[in-house]
Structure 1
Amino acid sequence: MILNQLVLHNVGTFAGRHVIDLTPPSTSRPIVLVGGLNGAGKTTILESIQLALYGSLAHASGRRNGSYDNYLRGLVHRGVPTSEGAAIELTFTAHQEGMQHKYWIRRSWKSSGASIREILLVSVDDRHNQALTSTWSEHVETFLPRGIAGLFFFDGEQIEALADLERSRQVLSSALAALLGLDLVERLTTDLAVLKRRHRGEQVPDSLRQAVEEKKQLVTAHRQREEAATEAEAARRTELERSQKLFHEATEAYRAAGGDLLDQRETAESTAAMVRAGLARCEDEIRHELTETSPLLQLGGLLEQLGEQVRVEAAAQRDILLVEAFSVRDDTLLQKLTDAKVKASTLTAVEQFLGDDRETRRSSADIEQIVGYPDPVALEGLLALTLPEARTRLQSAVDRRAMFKAEREQAERVLAAIPDPEAMAPLNARREETRDLLYRAEAAYAVATELLNSARTDRARAHDAYETTLDKAAHANLAADDDRRLVEHVGRVRATLENLRVAATRRHLERISHLVMEALGMLLRKENLITDVQIDPETHAVALTGVDGQSLPAKNLSAGERQLLAVALLWGLARAAGQPLPVVIDTPLGRLDGTHREHLLERYFPQASHQVILLSTDTEIDEEAYERIAPRVGRAYHLKFDAATNASYVVDGYFWSE
C-alpha cells in the first residue's frame, strides 16, 4: 500500500485547499518529511489520514474527548462558514487479489443545525463505486485492519505510553488479537457465554427468577458505575497529560530565559565572594613582599656588579695582608736556605720566585677602593639566597593573582548573565501555577483510578454472584439431559477456546519476540543491554532479560531506552503483520539523547517501511539530524503558520532546505 496524495480543505489550521504529494520518488528514498512548529498542523495530518480511512471508527486521539459530531465540528477551520464545512481527500494504491488498484476517498462534513452531516465518496481506478462506499468500513479491514493500524500510524505520546510496560499490555493484547485473528475467538467465547446465560435464564422457574433478576440488575448497576468510572478516569488521565505538557512547557520557558542561572544565584555569588577574597589575600601578599627585599630585584645587573666589585676589593685587602706576612716569612726561609748551604743558583731561583709572588700580589692589591663594603659574606647571602627566594615568592604571588583575576572575571560574567528576578517573576509564577495544576491533576487521577478499581472489583463480585445464582438455578431446574449437556458443553467449549487462544498466541510469540529483539539490537546504543524479550501469552506482560541472564526490570532502563523498547515493540509487531503498509509517525524523537536519536534516524526510519511519513518539529529533526537522513528523504514539506490569516500553509522543503 502506498499513500499517494492527501488533500485538506478547511481542516484544523488549514484554511482553503492544500494538496500534499506523499508518493516516495524511489525505493531508496522512502521518507516523506513534514516539518512544522507546534500548532502548525502536523497532528492534523496524522488524524486526517486515519479519519479518511476509518471515519467514526478511527483511533481516538487526545483531542477527541466528546462525541464524533463534536470532534468533526472542532476540526473545521475557525472562521470558515458553517455551511461550507471541511473535507479530506486521500488517494492511495493497494493490491487486491493480485491486482493493483488506485483508491480515492473523500470524506466531507458540514454543520446542519445542531448536527453534523457527513458525506463519504469512494472511487476505484477513477470510477465511483457506490457499493464500496456503503460498505467501506468493512472493505478497509481487508487491506488495513483497524486493529493493527496503531502499529503503523502513531505519535510520540503513543510511544511514551508503550514505554510504560504496565500500560502496554492493552496495546499488545489488541495488536496480537488482530494479528493472529484471535478477536474472532474472543467474540465466539463471548457469544457462547451469552448463549449459556440466556439458556440458564430461561430454565429458571418462577420461584428463582426473582433472585436471578435482582442479581442481574445489580450487575447492570455496577457495570454502569464501572463505565462511568472508566470515562472519569480517562478524562482525569487526559487532564493529567495536559497538565504535564503545560508544566513541561512552562519549565522549558523558564529555563530558556535563564531560570537555571537564577536558581544558582546564591552559589554564583558565594563563588564570586570567595574569588574576590582570594584575590585580596594574594594582593596583600604581594604588598608584603614589596616591603621586604623584593624591590632590590629591580636593580638587576647593578647588584651583580656590586657583588663583583666587593669580591675584588676583598681579594685586594687579603693580598695586602698576605704580602706583609709573606715578607717576614720569605726572609726567614732564605736565611734557613743560606744556613743550609743550598746552591747559590737554587737560592737565587727561590729568592726570585718569592719576590715575583710578592710583587704579583702587591700589584693585584693596588686597586682603588670604591665600595668598601664591610660584610662581603652578607652581600653574597643576599645575592645567592635572599633575592632568588624573594623572586620565587613574588612570581608565585603574581601568577596566583592573574589566576584569581581570571576567575573573578568569569564569576562576574556569570553574575551578569543572571536575569533580574523581577523579570523572571511571571515565568516563575507560570511554572509554579502549572506545577500546582499538575499536583492537583495527579491527585484527581489517583482518586479516579482508585474509584475505577473499586468499581471493577464490585462489578466482578456482582458478576460472580450473578453467575453463581444462574448456575444454581440452572442445575436445580434443568428438566432435560439435553439442556444439562448443552450448559456443560458450552463451558467445555469456552475452556477449549481459551486454550486455543493461549496456544495460538504462544506459537507466534516466539517469532514476534525474535523480531522485537532484532529491532532492539538495531536501535539500542548498549547492544548487550537486553539479551531476550518474552511476552506472556496470557497476560501479555513484557519480560526483559539482561546480559547476566537475570530478569531486567523496566525501571532500570533510562527513559530513552524505554522509548526505544516501545519503538522496537511497534516495529516487531508491524513486521510480524507481514503486510507492506506505510508508516506515519508524529513527533517521532521525543526526549531521546543524541545516540538514541542517531539510531532512530539511521536504522529505523529508513527501514521501517517502504513509505515513512515523519511529522516533526525543528528541534526533533534539527539541522544535524536532517543531514543524516537527507539521502533517504524523497519529499520534504514545511508547514508554516501565518498569524495574519490565522492559518497554516504548505511549502516545499524542510526548515533548512527550502
Structure 2
Amino acid sequence: MILDEIILHNFGVYRGRHSFVLTPDSASKPIILIGAQNGAGKTTFLEALQLAFFGKMARGQFRGTGTYDDYLRDAINKTAPLSDGAEVKVTFRRAMEGREQVFQIRRSWSASNNRVREVFEVVVDGQLDRVLTSEWSDYIEELLPPRIAPLFFFDGEKIEHFADLDRSSEIIGTGINALLGLDIVERLKVDLEVLEARKLANNGGTDLREELSLAEAELKEAEQQARLANERTASARVNAERSSLVLQRARSALEAEGGNLFATREALTAERARLDEALEHARKELRSWAADGAPLLLVPGLLQAVCDQAGQEVEIEATRALLSHLAARDHRALSRFRDFGAAEALVHEVEAFFSEDRKKLELTASKETHLNLSFSAREAVATLSGGGRDSLLHARKALLERLEDLEAKRDELERKLASVPAAESVAPLLRDVLEAEVSHQQAEAELQRCVQASEAADREIAAARSRYKSKLEKMVSLQLQREDADRLLQHSAGVRRTLSRFATEVIHHHIQRIEQFMLDGLQALFRKHDLVASVTIDPKTFAIELHGSDDHIVSPDQLSAGERQLFAVALLWALARASGQAAPTVIDTPLGRLDSQHRTRLAERYFPCAGEQVILLSTDEEIDERIFQKLEPFITRSFTVTYNSEQKSSQVVPGYAFAGEAGMEAA
C-alpha cells in the first residue's frame, strides 16, 4: 500500500485546505520528510491518518478525553465556524489480484448545537463504492488491522515503554496473534465453548440452564465494564501525560523569567539587612579608631618634637626638684665640715664648688616649660611616636579590609536583588505553575483511580469467567450420560485441543523469524556491536531475553534511554517485517532522545529500509543539516509546516527548511 496524498481541511491547526503529496519516486527513495516545530502540526498529521483509516477504532490513539463526538468537535479548527466542519481525505494505491487499484477515503464532519454529523465515503478507481463504504471496518481489518497499526504509525518519543519487559511481551503477543490470525483460532475455541454450553443447556435441567444463562450474562456485563474501565484508564493516562507536559512548560516559563531568583527574594533581603548592620558596625569601629590618637599619625615630625619636648620638660622639673634638695644638703655639709674643724680655706673651696655646681643646674632649671604633660599623656605620645604607630596602622588596615569586603558583598547582593523580577511580572507564571501542579495531581489521582478500577474489573471478569466455567463444567458432568451431548463434547474438546496445538506450533514456527528479525535490527541500530548476540522469545509468555556475547542476559533496564528507544524501534521493525504487510511507516518525532551516533544509525540503517514508503515527522532539532545529508539520497520530497499566528493556521511549503539551502533544493 502506498499513500499518494492526504488533504486536511479545517483539521486541528490547519485552517482551510492543505495538501501533502506523498508518492515516493521509486523504491530506492522511499522517504517523505515533513519538518515542523512543536505545536505546528506534526502530531495532527499522524492523527489525521489514523482518523481517516480507522475512525472510532483509532480512538485510543487520539489525544484528549471524552467521547468520539467530542474529539471530532475539538478537531475542527478553532477559528473556523463549527458549521463549516472539517475533512480528512487520503488517497492510496493497493495491488489486488495482480491489478493496482486507487482508493480514496474521505471522512468529513460538522457540528451544530450538541450534535456532530460525520460522513464517510470510499471511492475506488474514481467510483463511489457504497458496499465497501458500509463494510469498511471489515475491509480495514484485512488491509491494516487497527491492532497492528502502531507497528507502522507511531510516536518515536512514546515507544520507549515497549522496552519494559511486560510491555514488550504484551506488544509481541498482540502482534503475533494479529499477524498470524491466531485471534481467529481463539474465537473458534470460544465459539466451540458456546456451542457446548448451548447443547448442554438444551439437554440440562431448567434450573441449570437458568444458572448458566445468569452466569453468562454476568460474564458479559463484567467484560463490558472492563472495556469501559480500560477506555477510561487510557483517557486518564493521556490526560496525565498532557498535564505533565503543561506543568513542565509552566515551570520552564517561570524559570526563564527568573522565578528561581524570585523564590530567594526574602532570603536575599534578610541577608542585605544583616550586611547593612555589619557595615554600620564596621564604620563605627573605624570612627572609634579615628577618634582616638589616630589623627596624630598625620604629623609624625611634630609628634616626635612633642615627645622630645616632653622629655626635656621632665628633665627640667627633675632639675628644679634636685636644686631645692641640693641647697639644703650643701648647707648641712658645710656645717659638718666646720664642726669637724676643717680648715677655713677648704670650707671656702668646697662651698665654691657647691655653688658652681648649683649654678649649672639652675641654667637647666631656669628654662621654661610649655607642655606640662601628665605621665599618662607622655606615655601616650611616646607610644604614638614609637612602636605603637605600627600597631595602630595594622588595626586601621584590618578595619578597612573588613569594610571593603562587606561593601563588595553588599554590592553583589544588590546586583542579585536587581535581577529579581518584580512580583507582578512573575505572579501570573507562579499562578500557572500552581494551577498546573494541581491539575497534574488531579490527573495522576484520576489515573490511579482508573487503574485500580480497571484492575478490579479484570478481577471481576476472572471471577465471572470462573463462575461461568464452573456452571458449564457442572452442566457437562450432569449431561455426559446423554449420548449426543457426550459425542459433541468429545469432538469439540478434541477440536479445541487441536486448535491449541495448532496455535502453539504456528507460534513456535514464526517466533524464530521474529527473533532473527529483532536481532538483525538490534545489531544494525546499536552502537555497541557486541552488546546483543542473540534474542530469545518465550512462545508461551512472549517474554524477551537479550543475550550478550558471553551468553549473559542483558536486561532492558541496563540499557541507556537511547538504547531502550532503539530496542523499541527494533521490536516494532521486527514485527512489521514479520507481518508481511506492505503498509507505509509513519514516525512522529523519530529521533527525540537519541545521541548523535544512534541518530546516525537510524538515519543510515533504519529509515531507508523501514518500508516501501517512510514518512518522517521531525522537529528542527532532530533531523538537522547533518542527518538530512545522510537521508537526502533516499528522500523523494520534503515539506515544512509553519504556524502563521496572524492567520491562526499552519501552512505547508515545499522543502525542508531546517537543513538550509540543501533542504529547500531537495523539495
Q: Which residue of 2 aligns with 1:83?
A: 83
Shift in Å, 1:30: 2.2
Q: 1:320 maps to which residue? A: none
* Deviation readout 1:421-450 (Å, 9 max, x if unpaired): 767776577556645654554444344333
Sort the Cα spacing of 1:236 and 1:112 in 2 relative to 1 into closer, same or farther, 3 A.
closer
Aligned partner of 1:82: which letter?
L
The answer on whether the counterparts of 1:94 and 1:102 sit within 8 Å (CA) in structure 2 is yes
Partner amino acid for 1:618? Answer: D
Please name the residue that 1:566 is paired with: 568
Q: Secondary structure at the match of 1:492?
A: helix
Mean CA deviation greater in 499-508 or 487-496? 487-496
* Residue type at the aligned position of 1:545: H
- The answer to whether the aligner puts 1:598 opposite 2:625 as a matched pair is no
Question: Following the alignment from structure 2 to structure 1, what is the Cα–Cα distance between the partners of residues 219 and 25?
Answer: 58
* 1:517-563 C-alpha deviation (Å, 9 max, x unpaired): 11111111112212222222222222222333122222111221111
- Paired with 1:53 and 1:220, the residues of 2 have a C-alpha distance of 29
Q: Deviations over 1:127-170 (max 9, x none)?
A: 44444434333334444344432211112354133233312333
Q: Distance in 2 between matches of 1:29 and 1:622?
A: 19
Distance 2:219 2:138 in 1: 33
SS at match of 1:507: helix
Equivalent position amino acid for 2:561 in 1:
A
The whole-number CA distance in structure 2 between the counterparts of 1:530 and 1:500 is 31
Residue matched to 1:495 = 497
Q: What is the aligned partner in structure 2 of residue 482 from structure 1?
A: 484
In 2, Cα distance between the equivalents of 1:192 and 1:596? 50
SS at match of 2:642: strand
Task: Note if contact 1:261-1:418 (Cα within 8 Å) is conserved in structure 2.
Answer: no
State the number of aligned residues: 518
* Pair 1:446–1:145, CA change in 2 (3 A): closer
Q: Which residue of 1 aligns with 2:510?
A: 508
For each residue in 1:611-644, what CA deviation from the matched residue of structure 2 results, as whole angstroms up to 9, or x when unmatched? 2111122122234433432333221211111222
More off after superposition, 224-233 vs 189-198:
224-233
Q: Tell me which of 463, 468, 471 is aligned to 2:465.
A: 463
SS at match of 1:5: strand
Structure whose CA Rg is larger: 2
SS of the residue aligned with 1:619? coil
Q: Secondary structure at the match of 1:52?
A: helix
Residue deviations 1:200-232 (CA, integer Å, cap 9, x gap): 333331344454455445445544543443334
Match of 1:281 in 2: none
Distance in 2 (CA, whole Å) between partners of 1:80 and 1:62 is: 21
- Deviation of 1:478 after TM superposition, in Å, equals 5.0
SS of 2:91's equivalent? strand
SS at the partner of 1:15? strand
CA distance in 2, matches of 1:261, 1:598: 40
Match of 2:272 in 1: none
Does the aligned pair in 2 maintain the 1:132–1:139 contact within 8 Å?
Answer: yes
Pairwise CA distance, 1:264: 12
Counterpart CA distance in 1 for 2:221 and 2:577 is: 43
Amino acid corresponding to residue 650 of structure 1 in structure 2: V
Alignment of 1:130-169 (within 5 A): 130-169=130-169
Shift in Å at residue 250 of structure 1? 3.8
Question: Could you say which residue in structure 2 is the equivalent of 1:96?
Answer: 96
Counterpart for residue 552 of structure 1: 554
Flag the 1:436–1:156 CA change in 2: closer, same or farther, 3 A: farther
For residue 643 of structure 2, give the secondary structure of its aligned residue in structure 1: strand
1:288 match: none
Distance 1:650 1:572 in 2: 33
By how many angstroms is 1:191 displaced? 1.2
What does residue range 70-469 of structure 1 map to in structure 2 within 5 Å?
70-111=70-111, 114-216=114-216, 218-220=218-220, 222-253=222-253, 420=420, 430=432, 434-435=436-437, 437-469=439-471
Normalised to the residue count of structure 2, the TM-score between the two structures is 0.70
Counterpart-to-counterpart distance in 2, 1:175 and 1:22:
27
Residue type of the alignment partner of 1:86: A
Cα separation, 1, equivalents of 2:81 and 2:578: 46
Give the gaps of 5 or more residues in structure 2: 268-407
Q: Mean alpha-carbon deviation: is it higher for 50-59 or for 584-593?
A: 50-59
Q: CA deviation at 1:113?
A: 5.7
Distance in 2 (alpha carbons) for counterparts of 1:94 and 1:492: 40
Partner amino acid, structure 1, of 2:91 = T
CA distance in 1, matches of 2:426, 2:532: 44
Partner Cα distance (2:144, 2:581) in 1:
9
Deviation at 1:241, TM superposition (A): 1.7
What's the Cα RMSD here?
3.4
**Runs of at least 5 residues in structure 1 that lack an aligned partner in the other structure:** 267-407
Separation in structure 2 between the aligned mates of residue 209 and residue 162 of structure 1, nearest angstrom: 45
2: distance between equivalents of 1:195 and 1:263?
Answer: 70
Q: Partner residue of 2:365? A: none
CA distance in 2, matches of 1:507, 1:128: 42
Displacement after TM superposition at 1:104 (Å): 2.3
Instruction: Name the counterpart of 1:575.
Output: 577
- Give the distance between the partners of 1:489 and 1:418, measured in 2 at CA: 88
Alpha-carbon distance between aligned partners in 2 of 1:51 and 1:229, rounded to the nearest angstrom: 23
Residue 251 of structure 1: CA displacement? 4.8
CA distance in 1, matches of 2:108, 2:33: 26
Distance 1:574 1:252, change over 3 A: farther
Separation (CA, whole Å) in 1 of partners of 2:110 and 2:46 = 21
* Deviations, residues 588-624 of structure 1 (Å, cap 9, x unaligned): 1222222222222222112212221111221222344
Q: TM-score, normalised by structure 1?
A: 0.71
Aligned partners of 1:203 and 1:474 also within 8 Å: no
Structure 2 residue matching 1:615: 3-state secondary structure: strand
Q: Separation in 2 of the partners of 1:59 and 1:485?
A: 45
8 Å CA contact 1:639–1:648 kept in 2: the answer is: yes
Show CA shifts across 1:382-412 (max 9, x none). Answer: xxxxxxxxxxxxxxxxxxxxxxxxxx9xxx9
SS in 2 for 1:605: helix
2:44 is matched with: 44
The answer (yes or no) to whether the contact 1:203–1:473 under 8 Å persists in 2 is no
- SS of aligned partner of 2:465: helix
The alpha-carbon deviation at position 418 of structure 1 amounts to 11
Match of residue 614, structure 2, among 612, 615, 619: 612
Per-residue deviation, 1:459: 2.7
Q: Deviations over 1:443-472 (max 9, x none)?
A: 443443334323322331232123112321
* Aligned residue identity for 1:57: M
Q: Which of 624, 627, 646 is 2:648 aligned to?
A: 646
Instruction: Give the AA of the match of 2:155.
Output: D
CA distance in 1, matches of 2:151, 2:192: 30
1:535 corresponds in structure 2 to: 537
SS in 1 for 2:608: coil
User: How has the CA–CA distance of structure 1 residues 600 and 495 changed in structure 2, closer, same or farther, with 3 Å as cutoff?
Assistant: same
Q: Which one-letter code corresponds to 1:461 in the other structure?
A: A
- 1:580 shift after superposition: 3.0
Contact 2:165–2:544, Cα closer than 8 Å, also in 1: yes
Identity of aligned residues (%): 42
- SS of residue in 2 equivalent to 1:9: strand
Which amino acid is the alignment partner of residue 137 of structure 1? S
Give the deviation of 1:650 after TM superposition. Answer: 0.8
1:472 pairs with 2:474: yes
Deviation at residue 511 of structure 1 after TM alignment: 0.8
Cα 1:152–1:219 shift into 2, 3 Å: closer
Aligned-partner residue type, residue 46 of structure 1: L
Deviation at 1:566, TM superposition (A): 0.5
Counterpart mapping for 1:28-39 below 5 A: 28-39=28-39
Tell me what 1:25 maps to.
Answer: 25
Distance 2:124 2:418 in 1: 64
- Secondary structure class of the residue paired with 2:528: coil
Judge conservation of contact 2:258–2:421 (CA < 8 Å) in 1: no
Tell me which amino acid in the other structure corresponds to 2:633. P
| Structure 1 residue 15, shift from structure 2 partner | 1.4
1:166-217 CA-partner distances (Å, limit 9, x unpaired): 1233322222122212122122122112222222333331344454455445
